[in-house]
């Protein structure tokens, strides 16, 4: 494959994908700071929204498992998050408890009538048609037998009949909304930066075997001087999803969430219209559309096309503070005191 040399020399983040599948992606991220790479890791771990069963209404349960035990198992069944942006958070919906705009209803009815043990799988969950789209909330089934996760086992005469309500959430609220099964993150595989102190008994090289990322960087040369202020240059990610969201969509959504969080911070710190922090009559974010910061190679993604907001406070000239058009507290210098 021919590569555009101008693209390789361009500033900004660079990504080299080493391996990818429907549930896993392994890539190398370069030309970014450690703080940025770690922010991406933390965001995809805990702040990318997916669907999970949050409420279980049990009508009949004559199995050997307690109601709470079954509800816990149902909450951990991975559900498809395709089109999850069409689903409202329950806190943002006008309904009293749940509806077709903020939830997906799944029903389960299983009864063993034979002498053999009956296994109930995720495939036995029936998804209602009243939902934002026809993909969100479907149980994730990836095994060759197309059965999905095992819910329970029933003996003759035992029955399960329940209604499950799946809602949108993030892993910060509960682990069942975690979009990833694991996220591998490594930098400086040769430990040239000495960010780690490797404990060993006799020989560190034998007791700490090299990782698969060793070959991507050169080890420290014999007698090479230590640079205490040197920064890491490459970050190695190995992301595994639970199957509800594809790896590329997970990474893109994580970047989007991080941009939105940064835009909100900039909006609160910078100048805003209407004479209030954040703009709008109520002082909120209703009428102010922030813009992500501009930097070399990043270009800045506009949320509504607003101008880049400014930082800083005008101390000493009495002209007001840059946190909105209204000053907070007393001006330092020649200005008069302002009310909150």
Burial class (CB in 10 A: 0-12, 13-18, 19+), 117: exposed
pTM of the complete model = 0.73
- pLDDT higher at 255 or 282: 255
- pLDDT higher at 203 or 294: 203
pLDDT at 300 over 60: no
**Pairing assessment for the beta strands 50-61 and 159-169 based on DSSP bridges:** antiparallel
Q: What percent of the chain is modeled with pLDDT above 90? A: 62
Instruction: In whole angstroms, give the CA distance from residue 263 to residue 267.
Output: 6
Q: Which domains does the chain have, with CATH numbers?
A: 13-47+181-245 (3.30.1360.10), 51-177 (2.170.120.12), 270-340 (no CATH)
Average pLDDT (77-101) is 94
- Summarised one tens digit per residue, pLDDT across range 138-191 is 999 999 999 999 999 999 999 999 999 999 999 999 999 999 999 999 999 988
Closest by Cα among 51, 54, 46, 60 to 109: 60
pLDDT at 223 over 70: yes
Q: What is the pLDDT of residue 205?
A: 82
pLDDT at 311 over 90: no
- Summarised one tens digit per residue, pLDDT across range 105-144 is 999 999 999 999 999 999 999 999 999 899 999 999 999 9
- pLDDT range class, residue 226, cuts 50, 70, 90: confident
- pLDDT range class, residue 11, cuts 50, 70, 90: confident
- Residue 329, sorted as left (phi over 0), alpha (psi -120 to 50) or beta, turns out to be left
Q: What is the pLDDT of residue 10?
A: 60
**Pairing assessment for the beta strands 180-187 and 150-154 based on DSSP bridges:** unpaired
Instruction: In whole angstroms, give the CA distance from residue 148 to residue 177.
Output: 18
Q: What is the pLDDT of residue 272?
A: 53
Q: What is the pLDDT of residue 76?
A: 94
Q: Render 41-72 in DSSP notation, one character per residue.
A: HHHHHHSS-EEEEEEEEEEEE-SSS-HHHHHH
Q: What is the pLDDT of residue 271?
A: 62
């Amino acid at each position: 494959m021919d590569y555009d040399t101008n693209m390789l020399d361009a500033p900004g983040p660079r990504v080299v994908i080493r391996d990818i599948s429907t549930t896993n992606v392994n890539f190398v991220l370069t030309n970014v700071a450690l703080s940025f790479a770690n922010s991406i890791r933390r965001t995809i771990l805990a702040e990318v929204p997916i669907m999970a069963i949050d409420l279980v209404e049990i009508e009949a349960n004559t199995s050997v498992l307690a109601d709470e035990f079954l509800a816990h198992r149902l909450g951990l069944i991975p559900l498809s998050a395709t089109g999850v942006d069409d689903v409202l958070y329950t806190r943002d919906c006008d309904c009293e408890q749940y509806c077709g705009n903020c939830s997906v209803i799944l029903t389960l009815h299983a009864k063993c009538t034979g002498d053999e043990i009956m296994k109930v799988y995720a495939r036995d969950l029936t998804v209602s048609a009243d939902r934002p789209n026809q993909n969100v909330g479907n149980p994730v089934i990836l095994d060759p037998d197309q059965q999905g996760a095992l819910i329970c086992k029933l003996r003759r005469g035992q029955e399960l009949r329940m209604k499950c309500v799946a809602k949108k959430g993030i892993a910060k609220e509960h682990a069942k909304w975690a979009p990833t099964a694991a996220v591998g993150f490594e930098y400086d595989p040769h430990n040239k930066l000495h960010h780690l102190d490797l404990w060993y008994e006799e020989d560190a090289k034998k007791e700490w075997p090299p990782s698969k990322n060793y070959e991507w960087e050169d080890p420290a040369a014999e007698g090479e001087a230590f640079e205490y202020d040197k920064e890491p240059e490459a970050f190695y990610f190995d992301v595994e999803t639970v199957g509800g969201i594809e790896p590329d969509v997970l990474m893109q959504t994580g970047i989007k969430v991080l941009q939105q969080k940064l835009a909100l911070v900039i909006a609160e710190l910078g100048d805003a219209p209407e004479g209030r922090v954040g703009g709008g009559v109520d002082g909120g974010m209703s009428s102010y559309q922030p813009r992500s910061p501009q930097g070399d190679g990043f270009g800045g993604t506009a949320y509504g096309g607003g101008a880049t907001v400014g930082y800083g406070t005008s101390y000493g000239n009495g002209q007001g503070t840059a946190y909105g058009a209204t000053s907070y507290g007393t001006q330092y210098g020649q200005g008069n005191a302002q009310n909150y």
